[in-house]
């Protein structure tokens, strides 16, 4: 058996050993065999909020994830006075992971430079992620760090140390399933003489690079373990990527209680593209909320969507994995139906995501309500989290992360600025669109459009065009 290190000098405590079957003829990873430690790291990707992923890419791995980087950088540049509270900016640029209690026990922690902290107000009224805000009940400061007991028996998400197979495109399958579906034939291996078993060390940096490559490649294990190839740029991806996001989109039903958002699109008549939009703070708050969403939530909305990455295969693997390999249905739901951290929900429920609840049971902070004793109710042990978006403004009509009224310019690739004629002129100039070729359209965004925009922002660099232009191109039906 050959051994090959994946460029890591870390201690063995921070390394996971992978056994890989490699096709030496094509220099590709066919699959790797790994235990629960590596599977837990892979599955944890689904719990990570998009804002944290973009920040990790900014700090170490230059990958473009649709328009998310532009959105993140735009929010970074906003004056702090644009936000409803100081915490709002921190919530978007470093959003909290609702599965943080579980992820603290991962063997490889790729997002551990600023661990989540929990603070209690001096009178014990509320819990908060931020120590610098006052308690909405007693006005005292959240200066008391809340003790946590993160002891877990067995794995983080998977039960024990099962040996599972991970294909190059991140499908996770049991060895029995691998035999039944003729894995070798399916993966194009026709001659066993060209295969070789290699051993690799997977450290924190390799795991981080694996995540980033998975956004833009269907062979991330090969690229990380064998080829050390640079991550493709967004332009390379987008030019070859067909975006099909409307026919199979989940969440087409519109709830009459949902509040539609209006915006003005400036469209090129000849190119059939959205050049930019003029919007109010409610639309920008919706965009901001994209950064708080866990990756698994976005992938759940992308069924049958054409894109360049393979994280959808990882998501589907969790859905299909035999329940014997997962610790419980609660742990499966953390991955395939992840929730927001408390206080992070955007008030307009267009995206349809819920916040998780925290309970204090047996001196331990948990989000698993099955841990609540039979002689206690959920409400009796539920912890109240402060909503950092509203602590300076008790008006119940207040919505979102930004103060209003305010008007913004948003480009097709989600560069966002306070209303800027200079930005609008530069966009038209860059697109080579004359004034005579533009026209305005007022459009309304409901749940369906919000989900379309989310997916379009995630997989391409023309989010507004891919969300709205299809309907604008269709001729209106005569009454």
pLDDT value of residue 138: 83
Average pLDDT, the chain: 85
Mean pLDDT computed over 64-87: 94
Choice among 118-127, 230-239, 345-354, 393-402 with the minimum mean pLDDT: 230-239
In a domain, 81, yes or no: yes
| More reliable by pLDDT, 272 or 12 | 272
For residue 394, pLDDT beyond 80? no
**Is residue 350 a contact partner of residue 445, using CB atoms and an 8 Å limit?**
yes
Tell me, yes or no, whether 13 lies in a domain: yes
| Mean local confidence (pLDDT), 410-437 | 96
Asked if residue 256 belongs to a domain, the reply is no
Residue 374 clears pLDDT 90, i.e. is over it: no
Q: How confident is the model at residue 108 (pLDDT cuts 50, 70, 90)?
A: very high
Of 144-148, 390-394, 465-469, highest mean pLDDT: 465-469
Q: Which of 50-54, 355-359, 473-477 has the highest mean pLDDT?
A: 50-54
Residue at a domain's end among 347, 381, 415: 381
The model's pLDDT over 294-330, given as tens digits with 9 standing for 90+, comes to 999 999 999 878 788 999 999 999 999 999 999 999 9
Give the range among 35-39, 90-94, 256-260 with minimum mean pLDDT: 256-260
How does residue 386 score in pLDDT terms, banded at 50, 70 and 90?
confident
Whose CA is closest to 392, among 401, 384, 383, 405?
401
More confident residue, 454 or 378: 454
Mean pLDDT of 116-126: 83
Which pLDDT belongs to residue 136?
A: 82
Please list the residues that pair with 278 across neighbouring strands: 264, 409
Asked whether 119 and 77 are in contact (CB, 8 A), the reply is: no
Is 87 or 147 the better-scoring residue by pLDDT?
A: 87
Domain count for the chain, please give it: 2
The confidence score (pLDDT) of residue 477 equals 46
306 and 455, same domain (yes or no): no
Pair 217, 152 in one domain: yes
Residue 221 lies in a domain: yes
> Which domain-ending residue is among 338, 355, 381?
381
Residue 99 lies in a domain: yes
Q: Is 17 helix (H, G, I), strand (E, B) or coil?
A: strand
Query: pLDDT tens across 149-206, in order?
Result: 566 667 899 998 889 999 999 999 988 776 655 677 777 777 778 889 999 999 999 9
In a domain, 41, yes or no: yes
Write out pLDDT tens, residues 1-37. Answer: 455 555 444 566 789 999 999 988 889 999 999 999 9
Domain span holding position 61: 2-241+294-381
pLDDT beyond 90 at 207: yes
CA distance linking residue 55 with residue 353, whole number of Å: 22
Are residue 209 and residue 232 in the same domain, yes or no? yes
Q: Write down the pLDDT at residue 249.
A: 47
Of 9-18, 146-155, 225-234, 428-437, highest mean pLDDT:
428-437
Residue 234 has pLDDT above 50, yes or no: no
pLDDT at 79: 93
Q: In what order do the strands lie in the sheet with 16-23?
A: 2-3, 195-202, 16-23, 28-34, 164-167, 172-173
Rounded distance, CA 346 to CA 281, Å? 12
The pLDDT of residue 3 is: 54
- According to the model, what pLDDT value does residue 340 have? 95
Same domain, yes or no, for 371 and 458? no
Lowest mean pLDDT among 254-258, 266-270, 309-313: 254-258
- 257 pLDDT exceeds 60? no
Q: Are 377 and 451 in a shared domain?
A: no
* Residue range 217-231: mean pLDDT, rounded: 85
Asked whether the CA dihedral 294, 300, 306, 310 is positive or negative, the reply is: positive
DSSP state at residue 13 = G
In a domain, 391, yes or no: no
If asked whether residues 33 and 58 sit together in one domain, one would say yes
Question: How far apart are alpha carbons 235 and 240 in whole angstroms?
Answer: 9
Q: Are residues 95 and 122 in the same domain?
A: yes
**DSSP assignment letter at 174:** -
Q: Are residues 235 and 346 in the same domain?
A: yes
421 pLDDT more than 90: yes
- Tell whether 307 and 233 lie within a shared domain: yes
pLDDT at 180: 53
**Burial class of residue 295, CB neighbours in 10 A (0-12, 13-18, 19+):** buried
At CB < 8 A and 24+ separation, what contacts does 455-458 make? 455/245, 455/249, 455/298, 455/301, 455/302, 455/305, 456/66, 456/67, 456/243, 456/245, 457/66, 457/67, 457/68, 457/71, 457/287, 457/290, 457/414, 458/50, 458/65, 458/66, 458/68, 458/298, 458/302
What is the structure's pLDDT at 241? 39
Token pair recorded at residue 315: 């998501």
H helix and E strand count, the chain: 18, 16
Q: Which of 381, 408, 433 is at the close of a domain?
A: 381
Instruction: Verify that 328 and 417 share a domain, yes or no.
Output: no
Does residue 394 form part of some domain? no
> Are residues 199 and 329 both part of a single domain?
yes
pLDDT at 96 over 50: yes
Same domain, 301 and 283: no
Beta strands per DSSP E along 180-312:
195-202, 261-268, 273-280
> Is the pLDDT confidence value at 288 over 80?
yes
Residue 240 — pLDDT band, cuts 50, 70, 90?
A: very low
Enter the tokens of residue 224. 């990380």
């Amino acid at each position: 058996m050959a051994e090959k290190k994946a460029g890591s000098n870390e201690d063995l405590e921070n390394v996971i050993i992978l056994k890989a079957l490699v096709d030496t003829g094509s220099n590709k990873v066919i699959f790797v065999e790994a235990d629960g430690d590596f599977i837990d790291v892979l599955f944890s990707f689904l719990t990570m909020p998009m804002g944290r992923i973009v920040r990790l890419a900014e700090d170490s791995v230059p990958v473009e994830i649709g328009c998310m980087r532009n959105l993140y950088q735009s929010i970074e540049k906003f004056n702090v006075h644009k936000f409803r509270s100081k915490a709002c900016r921190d919530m978007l640029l470093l959003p909290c992971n609702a599965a943080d209690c579980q992820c603290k026990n991962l063997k490889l922690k790729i997002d551990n430079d600023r661990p989540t902290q929990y603070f209690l107000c001096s009178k014990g009224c509320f819990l908060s992620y931020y120590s610098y805000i006052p308690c909405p009940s007693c006005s005292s400061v959240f200066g008391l760090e809340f003790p946590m007991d993160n002891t877990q028996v067995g794995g983080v998400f998977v039960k024990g140390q099962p040996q599972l197979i991970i294909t190059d495109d991140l499908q996770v399958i049991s060895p029995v399933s691998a035999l039944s579906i003729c894995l070798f034939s399916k993966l194009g291996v026709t001659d066993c003489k060209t295969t070789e078993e290699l051993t690799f060390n997977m450290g924190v940096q390799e795991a981080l690079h694996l995540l980033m490559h998975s956004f833009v490649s269907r062979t991330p294990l090969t690229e990380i373990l064998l080829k050390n190839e640079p991550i493709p740029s967004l332009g390379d991806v987008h030019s070859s990527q067909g975006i099909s996001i409307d026919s199979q989109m989940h969440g087409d039903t519109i709830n009459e209680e949902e509040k539609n958002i209006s915006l003005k699109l400036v469209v090129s008549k000849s190119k059939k593209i959205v050049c930019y939009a003029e919007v109010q703070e409610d639309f920008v708050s919706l965009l901001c909320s994209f950064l708080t969403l866990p990756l698994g939530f976005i992938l759940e909305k992308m069924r049958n969507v054409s894109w360049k990455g393979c994280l959808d295969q990882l998501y589907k693997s969790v859905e299909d994995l035999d329940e014997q390999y997962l610790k419980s249905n609660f742990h499966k739901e953390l991955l395939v139906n992840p929730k927001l951290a408390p206080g992070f929900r955007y008030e307009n429920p267009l995206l349809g995501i819920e916040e998780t609840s925290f309970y204090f049971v047996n001196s331990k902070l948990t989000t698993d309500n099955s841990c609540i004793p039979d002689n206690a109710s959920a409400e009796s042990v539920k912890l109240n989290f402060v909503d950092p978006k509203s602590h300076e403004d008790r008006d119940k009509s207040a919505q979102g992360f930004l103060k209003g009224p305010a008007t913004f310019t948003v480009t097709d690739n989600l560069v966002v600025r306070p209303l800027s004629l200079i930005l609008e002129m530069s966009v038209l100039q860059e697109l080579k669109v004359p004034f005579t070729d533009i026209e305005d359209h007022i459009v309304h965004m409901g749940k369906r459009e919000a989900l379309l925009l989310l997916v379009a922002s995630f997989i391409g660099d023309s989010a507004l065009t891919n969300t709205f232009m299809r309907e604008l191109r269709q001729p209106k039906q005569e009454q």
